Amino acid sequence: MDMAVSQFTASLFINWRIYSKNRDEQGRLPLFTALEHNLELSDGLDKIWENNGAAVEEADITTGLEAFMLAAVGSNSYIGTIFHLLQDHPAALNPYVTTIQQNVI
């Protein structure tokens, strides 16, 4: 079997439950890498998110940004992804809302 075909076939059988929780050499979760590259939900982000939704409660170890913030960076970001991240984890905004309210008072 051709090596390219073999790699392609292997990629069809990703165990998303395991992959979505595996950190890279820097300790970064796949969710943050996918968001940095503006991966759309239909392109695999949904599988990562579905199998490790708890990752949105962490900040990205590389950038220090929350998931919704990282999704918003760049001219190729998708508002739908940002919306879904915030809809799934609205508490991510709490530290920033509190900070703004304290500065106004």
Walk along the chain (105 residues) in steps of 10 and give the mean pLDDT of each run.
54 79 94 92 89 91 94 92 91 76 61
Domain-embedded: residue 44: yes
Domain-embedded: residue 31: yes
Q: How far apart are CA 34 and CA 41, in angstroms?
A: 10
Domain-embedded: residue 3: no
Domain-embedded: residue 42: yes
pLDDT of residue 99: 57
Structure-block tokens of residue 50: 């579905």
Domain-embedded: residue 68: yes
Structural domains in the chain (count): 1
**Domain range for residue 73?**
14-104
Domain-embedded: residue 70: yes
State pTM to two decimals. Answer: 0.76
Q: Closest by alpha carbon to 29, among 49, 11, 1, 55?
A: 55
Domain-embedded: residue 7: no
Domain-embedded: residue 66: yes
